[in-house]
Homo-oligomer: A and B are copies of this chain.
Amino acid sequence: MTTTPRRARAPRQSDVARLAGVSQSAVSRVIGGDTDAARIPEATVRRIQEAIKELGYVPNPTARKLRTGRNRLLGVHTFEAVFPRAREDFYFEFLLGIEERAEEIDHDLVLFTSTGGADGRRRVYRDGVNRLNVADGAVLLGVAADRAELARLEADGYPFVHIGRREVPGTRITCVVPDYESAAAAIVDRLADLGHTRVGYLSAGIDEESYADRRRGYESAVARRGLRDVSPAGPPGPGGVPDAAWLDRVADGALTAVVADAEWLAHPFAEALAARGLAVPRDVSVAVLEGVAADAPVRWDCLEIPRREVGRVAIDTLVGLLDEPGRDVTDVLVPCVVVEGETVAGVSEGSAG
């Protein structure tokens, strides 16, 4: 048995060319499948392919990338968590969609993992080096995206898309986002269809784009349907309990339906109602504007956030950006599904007014 020397130099196109008795460019063309443009005779192609096989030649992706700017590598950068850990549920479905779609379109994925700061937050730029640059472009995700880094990436002309809306003043970044606005509006429409005319919005008070989207959808639908908005004035107290004065008004029949932008607001609200002798959905309907685990204690009417689809769309959007660098896409919306649960009902006679 011949002992292969360890760490032998990898064969290059020129080696293949020499063995096949052709020029290096011929080899390149055969590998690139360019046999149409410059018709290479069957026989030559075969000779080259044999040489490739004999030498065990594999193209060098680095050289390819340097030359063409592409290497069919897409980066994925998450701004927090080491390997998907605490937020594993949050990321997981997105990642599945990303992977699934990348593979369908024959791209490889590169997951950038290293943190970079002692704070555990992940950075794109380390010592001024854009680590993502080895990939053709990247999908970024993370609730705590660093806006300065996004802005810099954008200024550097690095192609990327962000999952979740992120607005950075003076910058147009391409985002792929669940369409919370339409979903919130659809829920209000449903309430209106069921006869509700006085509704309220329970806000967690989170200052983030996706929550603004929900609120906007709610407000536009309330206006469009001519409903009366009877939302509490301020943010909830600790534990998500709403303002007591407002609760008393609700107990007096000030509204018949409430929309909460987080599940953890709905629970204390329902309990506060119960304490006042009201029941959900008999007296007040409640809908939640986010996804709720299937095994949750209460089957809230809620949203289903199409995480997987968002991941897939992110890949397609990114590749679109790569193929057409001129394009200026900003938001790509992915529809949410409204899930009917057990907490929304028609207006009961007693509370109609």
In chain A, positions 60-93 with a C-beta closer than 8 Å to chain B are: 60-63, 65-66, 71, 73, 82-88, 91-92
* 26-72 of chain A: CB within 8 A of chain B: 52, 56, 58-63, 65-66, 71
A170 at the interface (CB under 8 A from B): yes
Q: A224 in the interface, Cβ–Cβ < 8 Å?
A: no
Interface string of A170-200 (1 = CB under 8 A from B): 1010000000000000000000000000000
* Residue ID in chain B nearest A75 by CB atoms: B110
Q: How many copies does the complex hold?
A: 2
A58 pairs with B128, CB closer than 8 A: yes
The answer to whether A87 and B85 have CB atoms under 8 Å apart is yes
Given contacts A6-B157, A7-B325, contact A108 B131 (CB under 8 A): yes
Residues of B within 8 Å of A152, CB to CB, are 56
Residue from B103, B111, B154, B156 in contact with A115 in the complex, judged by beta carbons closer than 8 Å: B103
Contact B111 A111 (CB under 8 A): yes
Partner-B contacts on A (CB < 8 A): 1, 4, 6-10, 52, 56, 58-63, 65-66, 71, 73, 82-88, 91-92, 95-96, 99, 102-103, 107-116, 125, 128-131, 133-134, 152, 154-157, 159, 170, 172, 325-326, 328
